[in-house]
């Protein structure tokens, strides 16, 4: 059995279809069938860290140079 696609994968797929001219619209927050805040919290728990070349990329802090 194949794994189901995640919440964000479905959102991005729908936005792509809308941009291509499908005529669909995104549901408003709170409307029937729209993802709830609990859905987003649950999706955040299962999110995978982005990897670059097999290693997790560390956040780079860039500082402004003084003039």
- Is 8 within the bounds of a domain? yes
- State pLDDT tens for residues 25-62: 999 989 999 999 999 998 888 777 666 666 666 667 77
- Is 3 within the bounds of a domain? yes
- State pLDDT tens for residues 9-21: 899 999 999 999 9
Domain count across the chain? 1
The predicted pLDDT at position 65 comes to: 75
- Is 11 within the bounds of a domain? yes
Q: Is 7 exposed, middle or buried (0-12, 13-18, 19+ CB in 10 A)?
A: middle
Domain that holds residue 15: 1-26+35-45
- State pLDDT tens for residues 30-40: 999 999 999 99
The predicted pLDDT at position 1 comes to: 55
């Amino acid at each position: 059995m194949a794994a189901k696609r995640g919440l964000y994968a479905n959102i991005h797929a729908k936005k792509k279809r809308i941009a291509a001219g499908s005529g669909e619209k995104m549901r408003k927050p709170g409307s029937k069938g729209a993802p709830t805040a609990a859905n987003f919290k649950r999706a955040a728990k299962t999110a995978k860290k982005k990897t670059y070349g097999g290693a997790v990329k560390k956040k780079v802090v860039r500082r402004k140079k003084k003039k």
